[in-house]
Amino acid sequence: MLWPACSKCWQHSSLNGFGPHTHTKLAYSGESTLVNRRAISSEIRPCSWTNGVVTVLDATLVAVVGRDSGGPSGWDGVLGGGGSTSDRKCLTDSLDDERARFVTVVVEAAMSCGQIVHLTGSMVQTRLLPILLLVPLAVVASPVRDNDDSSLHPAFEAGILTAKNVREQSTEFWRDHSRQQTLAKVARRDNRNVAKNVVFFLGDGLSVQTVASARVAAGGEEREFAFERFPHTGFSRTYCVDAQVADSACTATAYLAGVKANYGTLGVNGKVKRGDCEVDRENRVESIAKWALEAGKDVGIVTTTRVTHASPAGMYANIPDRDWETDFGIRRDGCDPELVDDIAEQLVYGEIGSKLKVVLGGGRREFFDRTPDPETGRAGFRSDGKNLVKEWLNGDPGEHRRYVWSRSELLTVNPKTTDKLLGLFEPSHLQYNLDRISGNMHEEPTLAEMVNKATDILSQNPNGFFLFVEGGRIDHAHHENRARYALDETIQFDRAVFTARWKYSEEDTLIVVTADHSHTMSYAGYPTRGNDIFGFAGTGTDGLPYSTLSYANGQSFEDHFSAYSEGSARRDMRTMDMQTPRFRFPATVPYSTQTHAGEDVPVYASGPWSHLFSGSYEQSIIPDLISYAACFGSGPQACEGAGSSLL
């Protein structure tokens, strides 16, 4: 923020009290940014949101930063027509004659005020036009030659020069940035405290490409997510015992139980094949949830998927097939539900599931028989006649248990008087956030809201807690080739991470963020800086534009490719509605669903012993690193002198 002379300005009512120390929190506190972007997208296009500095990508000369002010041009337009003389004077006093700094401060001021700024009138003529005159003309590419550098790295048309780009052209800008980062790393000291609390965030399908492209969608190429500011990062290898490319079940067994297993199995070792009707007890594995419970901590689960889905089920279930969420699935596959407890039953009656303090997510249908759902009227999926929610409520008579199925009910839960909380907000998975905000947004909580309520309840335990949080719909969107959904779900996931890190100190709370596996989405081409991440990166040799984002395979192949006999294999995306969230980005191989990918996934850590998560390692080491920091489980522990000396 460029406010060296403006500290007093933040006291004025026209700036709504949005000070330099509070605007970061506000940016994560709700959907205002996203709603505003949707509201104005039809009239202003394209614009890129970049950490408070708006990049204008066409000749409209419009900078978009929040809600419409309705004010005139100039300073009154910046402050929504309500800025006082002192407001304007403070801003103008902080400016020098550098045009880039002028535009930057104007836009950052407006970001703090939550305004739309129309850079028109005299302000554009006197300040912005000289900058625009510096825009270079398009560079004509030289003829393409095989293996020539000009063909490998072709020239491209530069975008409109923005204030941000001007600053970045300076040598000192980058040298100063590097020096600051270096000094911060040098000053960092390893945190060797015992982790009282642990929050484990799992972004299902959160590949490096997903993180990088979601940054652009959230604010720009240089944007940083909350978890990217964590001091320590690493990479984990995700393969299964029997598969090069993993699914969410075998990976859950790895990162929650420390044992690699076979594709499609949960909470069992590699001796168990998917679909085995019987599992010897010695082939079941204990999860980190059990270790935390045995240490006297409270344990919870928050997810945007069904609570019986593969990732959350890894906390409490031991089952040879991830699809056996109800007794119906077991019968369908030829096994006896009297011999194998389905996943929903294990949540209610299992050794670990029955002890979970908080469970929030979707999946009501897995807990009910043919009883109509209270929201949709559709029947449940159970075939045994059981109402597992009722049975859960009738559990320990000495406990105050609460079941909720709407956002309004969740927000009324009193953490101090609630012993256990079960929240099932959808018959299946929770809605995509983009669908939620366009529909009945008041009846389904955000991931951040669920994390906030869960931690409020879990933190009542003086011994601390372990919370597993999954942003599961990132994965589902990628499977559908719907990149807009995937990147928005990533942004919502980051807001939940921010909520937890903001609430709890790094001194005693370890937060780990990672993925179970990758996806095939590619972020490619040579798009200009500030280009719409959901737009075109360039033109192919067939004369048709291609998108920055695409997939290696999936159902969208049929949307984008026609028969070769028609003369052109690719369809022209300019004829498609690419603005709808349901737009399916191109896939190059036809397939029933976009597949997972096999590369390593990132791990981000902050808090006690977070430095242990640096490097490259097997995914199965993650629960042991966590248990070391939190002093539970049967492995080495930080609170043991001998164990501590080993690391």
- Residue 185 burial by Cβ neighbours in a 10 Å radius (0-12, 13-18, 19+): exposed
In whole angstroms, what is the distance from residue 111 CA to residue 114 CA? 5
Does the annotation flag 596 for ligand binding?
yes
* DSSP labels, 154-173: ---------HHHHHHTSHHH
372: cis peptide before it, omega within 30°? no
To the query of whether residue 248 is one of the catalytic residues in this protein, the response is yes
User: With contact defined as beta carbons under 8 Å apart, do 15 and 113 qualify?
Assistant: yes
Catalytic, out of 213, 248, 518, 620: 248
In whole angstroms, what is the distance from residue 364 CA to residue 430 CA? 11
- Roughly how many angstroms between the first and final C-alpha of the chain, as a whole number? 40
3-state helix, strand, coil split of the chain in percent (to 5) is 40, 15, 45
For 123, how many CA atoms within 13 A lie in the half-sphere containing its CB?
20
- Amino acid sitting at position 533: I
Does the annotation flag 516 for ligand binding?
yes
Does the annotation flag 560 for ligand binding?
no
Q: What is the dihedral of CA 178, 180, 183, 187, to 10 degrees?
A: -130
Record the tokens describing residue 51, joined without a space.
Answer: 């950490």
User: With contact defined as beta carbons under 8 Å apart, do 326 and 342 qualify?
Assistant: yes
CA distances from 414 to 315, 421, 448, 481, 642 (A): 25, 10, 17, 40, 42
Does the annotation flag 204 for ligand binding?
yes
* DSSP labels, 376-440: T--B-S-SS---HHHHHHTS-TTS-EEEE-SHHHHHT--GGG-SEEEEE-SSSSPPPHHHHHHS-
Q: Report the residue count for the chain.
A: 647
Does the annotation flag 148 for ligand binding?
no
- Largest Cα separation within the chain, whole Å, is 79
Does the annotation flag 479 for ligand binding?
yes
Strand partners of residue 360: 302, 423
- Cα dihedral across residues 438, 439, 440, 444: positive or negative: negative
User: With contact defined as beta carbons under 8 Å apart, do 26 and 18 qualify?
Assistant: yes
3-state secondary structure of 502: helix
Strand partners of residue 199: 467, 511
User: With contact defined as beta carbons under 8 Å apart, do 489 and 448 qualify?
Assistant: no
Does the annotation flag 470 for ligand binding?
yes
3-state secondary structure of 476: helix
Annotated binding site for Mg(2+): 204, 309, 311, 470
Annotated binding site for Zn(2+): 204, 475, 479, 516-517, 596
Residues with catalytic annotation? 248
Annotated binding site: 204, 309, 311, 470, 475, 479, 516-517, 596
